[in-house]
Amino acid sequence: MTRRKNYRPLLWITALLIVSSILYIRFWPSESVPSLGSDMPKNIAMEPVTPQNIESPAAEVLSERIAEYHINVRLDESAHLLQAAQTVTWLNPGKKTVNELYFHLYPNAFESPDTTFMRESGGRLREDAMPGDGYGGISLTALDTTDGLSLMNRIEYVQPDDGNAKDKTLIKIRLPQPVKSYERITLTMKFEVKLPKIFARMGYAEDFVMAGQWFPKVAAYEKVGVRGRSSEGWNLHQYHGNSEFYANYGIYSVKIEVPDTYTVAATGFPTKTPILANGRKTYQFYADDVHDFGWAASPNFIYVEEPFSAPNVPGVRIKLYLDPKHENLKERYLYAAKAALSKFSEWYGSYPYSTLSIVVPPKAANGAGGMEYPTLITAFGAEDDSPGYNLERTVVHEIGHQYFYGLLASNEFEEAWLDEGFTSYAEDKLMEHEFGVAPNLAVEGSYMTDPAPLKLAAWEYKDHRHYAENVYMRSKLVLLAIEKQVGEKTMHRIMRTYTQKYRFKHPTTADFQRVVEQVTKRKWTDFFNQYVYGNQMADFAVEGIDTRVLDNEGAPRYEATVHIVKKGADYPSVPIVFHFADGTSTRKVWNGDGERMQYRLNHTAPLDWVMIDPLYTIVVENKHINNYMKAHVEEPVRTRVNLSIVKLLEMISSAVGW
């Protein structure tokens, strides 16, 4: 009798092998799919850090990560020079084929008095001025493709905004081969930056270095639909006297070599302990889902670090790099940072990064102060041993930028109010909530002497004062005017919806208007046309008061006719108080329809005075001097009163000037 073979164990083994293979293919990390830029060449002067070197856990991808930078930079402290090599991989996010790349060379803004930045700024930013011997700039010394083809003869300086041939802050590189949709191109570069003396954001002061906007940076490329675009393309602008910056999100891996006595603060987090060799120290930093990389270095920093977490802040290392003059103020810096991170994350969405660095520069480097970079901010230069609330206000403001500049990345060239105005609004909210410091909105409103549309390109404002007046102050007042009409709770929903919906998406003014309309369920076209797209402010005035005595069977009554006129933009709720000689008052609210309104009042005592908006609830009113009128004033007294009010407002305005 023949024995039948038992195939059942073999079938089970075969099935297990098949299942194991499937699981291996599905879940085991594939080494055959490189990350963006992982195939970079390593034949440049200083070997770049590749993703395989990064000692960091896998993280959620929050943005498109269009560009990836691997940079090695060496500080020559004696020559005030940065010597660097970088490898840049750019992903074409659109559907069109791209035949050229554009790079910002921001340090060239400080190359000569003839650059666009210097012409427009007059060599000043805020209260800091360009030293006569303080010029600097950036020079590309090599530019190659991955197969070694030099592109140096394919570089062209372009000036799309003003045609200034002496401005070299933007270059076009004609590519030897086109980059098709969702293809990548990798270029290697070598460059040197002669650091200017600090007066505007970057440079050196004694042995302090602020490297902001210091490397060749790919210009922003926008797909259809981004910022309302109907056709995709580059967003190209030079470095202007008022403008700040705009870029796509990406990945940064940066090695920074400095003297071994220096401490470095930078965007992102260190991936390993600094390496010491031959009297030098090399730091290695990594950051993803950011659109810039800044760093500072000094041998004098007092370093303080504290972990912090809150309901919407899973865990952040707050790092202070203090000028010695402010060493004793570390608790104030830390408290302000914790309050800002906690509340802003509650109001505008969680802070997604693991670090936040605060650099306090020395007094001589004040020009680098009050600035924001992803995960890194600078306070104003350390001067006063016991500064007022300006210390907290600056920290709060710059951390606010981490949300509107960092996590939304609106276009600061073209719509600066979406960053500065929104951050100023958030700053005031937190300063009042946490420190009890409330703004004087009536004074701030009266300071609006030259209102302009908020959606102007930054360089279209007349000068820095005009830019600041509108982009910072007037923008904030416009947001508060919306809040006054809808209430704080609804405004909170508006801001939360906006910041969550457009996180990492480069929103526009139109996007914000749509959110306001969606949340409030009504149109805001007239308001935005007048206050945002237009240059109007509210201006309601008491034009005149007519009085007469009525005979009421021997008991006199007094009739007053009050003429109210609208001289500025619309506003839906205009409170008016009428005060009588017997001490009584009556209140009316005009809905603002039409150009003028007339009130007729009968009372047993004559009308004494009239005042529009006595509590200054119309925050976008800028001419309060005509809000008040007495019914009966002798002419000499009337003149003296009006002149006194004018002088008072002039003194107040001067006291809060930029």
> Hey, which residues are catalytic here?
398, 472
547/608 Cα distance (integer angstroms): 10
Q: Which residues contact 527 (CB under 8 A, 6 or more apart)?
A: 481, 482, 570
455/227 Cα distance (integer angstroms): 13
305/312 Cα distance (integer angstroms): 20
Kindly calculate the radius of gyration of the chain based on its CA atoms and give it in whole angstroms: 30
The dihedral sign for the CA sequence 9, 14, 19, 24? positive
104/172 Cα distance (integer angstroms): 9
Q: Tell me: is residue 237 an annotated ligand-binding position.
A: no
Q: Tell me: is residue 401 an annotated ligand-binding position.
A: yes
Closest by Cα among 138, 112, 239 to 193: 138
Beta-ladder partners of 210: 203, 296
Closest by Cα among 419, 376, 424 to 507: 419
Pairing between strand 250-259 and 280-290? Answer: antiparallel
303/448 Cα distance (integer angstroms): 41
Q: In 311-449, where do the E strands start and end?
A: 313-322, 355-359, 371-373, 376-378
CA–CA distances in Å: residue 262 to residues 49, 75, 77, 79, 252: 21, 10, 10, 16, 22
User: What is the secondary structure of 132-182 as a DSSP string?
Assistant: TT---EEEEEEEEETTS-B-GGGEEE--TTT--TT--SEEEEEEEEEE-TT
Q: Tell me: is residue 603 an annotated ligand-binding position.
A: no
Query: Residues marked as binding for Zn(2+)?
Result: 397, 401, 420
Query: Residues marked as binding?
Result: 397, 401, 420
